[in-house]
């Protein structure tokens, strides 16, 4: 065929040996020839220097319904009384052509009752024909790659970040292989996902290994299986992970916490709602920790960690909505811990000494309403990137964070903080900072208006992309707003920076040099302009006059030497429009 123009389709190529035998060199074919190769492994195509690689996306709903209908009804649309059922199967397949064809062919000419029965059956037992085809790619994986695939199938969205892979003992190169074989999808931002049918495949592979002995399975996901294992004390070293979603209340059935002690190889444990599970004993007291990497236990019911609980290899600790008052006393060495989440643990009164946790990257304490202060050791976490303190309504101040050279995101809205931290107490790495207190802060002057001086410091240092601060002052009953103010500093682009603020009030601050009661004002910018901070202007808006002509999209346009600045107006229901400065 060296001198012939040919068109060849090589379907389902799965090895380099096949590819080399069928299309080993471009010189085999004449000028203008085209060779199309379908393959499950994009890396195989890359190494063979294929000109263009096109990933076949999942079908959109409309096209998926058409494909399903072609096999179920021999036409491009379902019959009227089968429409809803057809959509159930289309949604189940999530646009996977193989599944659409298999199910459509199987359901062809069957009754509505048969369709309903198959739909209900799929919720409990996946279709074997679909699973067998999908398993071809799984069977071609190496052992460590299979382990990663199974972990991702069981952990749903937990392993959606590459950073967690190594924490679970996996290698990034194995993730690359799963992506190349289309077993895992990866966005350009690095987030990972897996098709629901591939998740079902992984779970079915684990179940089929020991269908009657859940205690010997590598992973557990169903409450019935966990209850069977703990009731009969049949846990083994084989169990590497336990994942339970929303659980119905166990009522009189109590899980035997002591039986967890036999799962000595347990690497991850996730319970979505602890409070629906009833235990005999404290499960963390008996939980083996030598291999434990990931612990998520929502609504954890105990007030303290047991003294014996020391998970030295733990990477992620998530206990949102727990009843914990205190984690541990003194300092605990947890060199591998990267994420710490006790959000909405309303009994939490303090966080422990964190000097023994030097590699923390994320802390979430949002909604911890009893938390009054942060342990100063938080200021020594050199790798901390994100700190969440929203709705910590008893938190009155922040510690010195200036040494946190990796901190980029700090959120502290709806707190009791009354003062913007000095720029000297904040790290220069900060890029996004939101602060909101429940009491209006008075800064450098006794003027009753909001002073944006501290935000000017941030602007001068150039250490932000966006900094926002807001204060609201309520009456003693917390019912009526007495005063409010807010400001933000933002970097619009490399050259343009802006600080803006607003407050309730009726005058312009005394320190403002140029004032006018009319519709315009003249000023000498060359005289008053500060090269570092620009200039400040205030606008007083009369509520009744302004509302007569204003609407939600109203704006005020300020002309400055030919440049135009656009100031948006804000509305507070029937209250006066705030000042702008």
Are residues 192 and 232 located together in one domain of the fold? no
Q: Which residues of 380-391 are buried (b: 16+ CB within 10 A; e: fewer)?
A: bbeebbbbbbbb
What integer pLDDT is reported at residue 512 of this predicted model? 65
Residue at 164 is within a domain: yes
What integer pLDDT is reported at residue 327 of this predicted model? 86
Distance CA 563, CA 552 (A): 24
Distance CA 447, CA 156 (A): 55
Are residues 191 and 219 located together in one domain of the fold? no
Residue at 537 is within a domain: yes
pTM: 0.72
What integer pLDDT is reported at residue 551 of this predicted model? 45
Are residues 320 and 390 located together in one domain of the fold? yes
Query: For residue 154, what is the domain's CATH number?
Result: 1.10.10
Are residues 283 and 331 located together in one domain of the fold? no
Encode pLDDT of 316-358 as tens digits: 999 999 999 988 888 889 999 999 999 999 999 989 899 999 9
Provide the H-helix boundaries in 41-127: 42-47, 61-72, 83-93, 97-107, 112-124
Are residues 389 and 413 located together in one domain of the fold? yes
Encode pLDDT of 473-503 as tens digits: 555 554 555 555 566 666 555 554 565 655 5
The structural domain count of the chain equals 6
- 297 CB burial (10 A radius; 0-12, 13-18, 19+): buried
CB 167 within 8 A of CB 293: yes
Q: Domain containing 18: what range?
A: 7-47
> Among 299, 336, 339, which residue's Cα sits nearest to residue 317?
339
Concatenated DSSP letters of 321-349: T---SBS-SSB---TT--EEE-TT-TT--
Are residues 341 and 413 located together in one domain of the fold? yes
Are residues 379 and 331 located together in one domain of the fold? yes
Are residues 14 and 89 located together in one domain of the fold? no
Look up residue 471 and give its DSSP letter.
E
What integer pLDDT is reported at residue 436 of this predicted model? 67
Looking at 260, 294, 328, the residue that finishes a domain is 294
Looking at 361, 385, 418, the residue that finishes a domain is 418
Distance CA 496, CA 490 (A): 9
Which residue ranges of the chain lie beneath pLDDT 70?
A: 1, 157-164, 246-252, 273-276, 419-420, 422-423, 436-512, 518-519, 524-581
Find the helix packing angle between 143-155 and 172-180, rounded to 10°.
80
Q: Which residues of 198-229 are buried (b: 16+ CB within 10 A; e: fewer)?
A: bbbbbbbbbbeeeeeebbebbbbbebebbbbb
Let me know the angle formed at the C-alpha of 185 by 184 and 187, rounded to the nearest 5 degrees: 145
Looking at 418, 433, 459, the residue that finishes a domain is 418
> Among 162, 127, 132, 134, which residue's Cα sits nearest to residue 148?
162
């Amino acid at each position: 065929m060296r001198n012939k123009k040919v068109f060849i389709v090589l379907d389902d190529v799965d090895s380099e040996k096949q590819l080399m035998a069928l299309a080993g060199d471009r010189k085999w074919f004449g000028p203008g020839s085209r060779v199309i190769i379908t393959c499950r492994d994009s890396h195989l195509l890359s190494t063979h220097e294929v000109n263009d690689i096109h990933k076949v996306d999942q079908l959109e709903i409309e096209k998926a319904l058409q494909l399903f209908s072609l096999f179920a009804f021999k036409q491009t649309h379902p019959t009227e009384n089968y429409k809803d059922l057809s959509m159930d199967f289309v949604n189940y397949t999530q646009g996977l052509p193989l599944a659409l064809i298999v199910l459509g062919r199987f359901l062809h000419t069957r009754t509505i009752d048969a369709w309903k029965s198959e739909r209900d059956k799929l919720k409990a037992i996946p279709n074997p024909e679909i699973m067998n085809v999908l398993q071809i790619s799984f069977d071609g994986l190496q052992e460590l790659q299979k382990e990663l695939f199974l972990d991702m199938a069981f952990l749903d969205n937990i392993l959606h970040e590459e950073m967690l892979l190594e924490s679970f003992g996996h290698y990034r190169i194995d993730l690359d292989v799963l992506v190349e074989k289309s077993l895992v999808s990866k966005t350009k931002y690095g987030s990972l996902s897996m098709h629901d049918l591939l998740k079902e495949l992984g779970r079915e592979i684990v179940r089929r290994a020991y269908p009657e002995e859940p205690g010997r399975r590598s992973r557990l996901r169903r409450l019935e299986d966990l209850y069977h294992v703990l009731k009969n004390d049949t846990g083994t070293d084989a169990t590497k992970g336990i994942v339970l979603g929303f659980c119905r209340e166990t009522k009189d059935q109590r899980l035997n916490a002591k039986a967890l002690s036999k799962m000595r190889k347990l690497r991850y444990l996730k319970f979505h709602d602890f409070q629906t599970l009833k235990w005999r004993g404290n499960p963390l007291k008996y939980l083996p920790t030598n291999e434990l990497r990931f612990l998520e236990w929502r609504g954890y019911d105990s007030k303290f960690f047991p003294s014996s609980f020391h998970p030295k290899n733990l990477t992620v600790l998530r206990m949102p909505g727990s009843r914990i008052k205190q984690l541990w006393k003194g300092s605990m060495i947890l060199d591998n811990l990267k994420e710490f989440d006790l959000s909405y643990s309303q009994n939490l009164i303090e966080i422990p000494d964190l000097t023994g946790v030097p590699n923390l990257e994320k802390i979430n304490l949002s909604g911890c309403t009893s938390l009054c202060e942060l342990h100063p050791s938080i200021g020594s976490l050199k790798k901390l990137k994100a700190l969440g303190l929203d709705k910590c309504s008893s938190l009155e101040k922040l510690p010195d964070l200036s040494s946190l050279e990796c901190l980029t995101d700090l959120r502290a809205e709806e707190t009791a903080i009354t003062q913007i931290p000095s720029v000297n107490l904040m790290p220069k790495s900060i890029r996004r900072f939101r602060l909101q207190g429940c009491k209006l802060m008075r800064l450098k002057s006794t003027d009753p208006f909001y002073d944006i001086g501290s935000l000017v410091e941030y602007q001068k240092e150039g250490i932000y992309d966006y900094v926002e601060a807001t204060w609201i002052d309520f009456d003693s009953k917390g019912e009526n707003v007495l005063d409010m103010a807010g400001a933000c500093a933002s970097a619009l682009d490399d050259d343009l920076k802006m600080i803006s603020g607003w407050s309730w009030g009726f005058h312009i601050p005394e320190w403002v040099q140029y004032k006018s009661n009319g519709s315009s004002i003249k000023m000498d910018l060359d005289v008053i302009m500060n090269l570092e901070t620009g200039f400040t202007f205030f606008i007083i808006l009369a509520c009744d006059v302004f509302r007569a002509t204003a609407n939600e999209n109203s704006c005020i346009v300020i002309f400055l030497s030919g440049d135009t600045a656009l100031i948006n107006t804000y509305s507070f229901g029937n209250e006066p429009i705030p000042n702008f400065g």
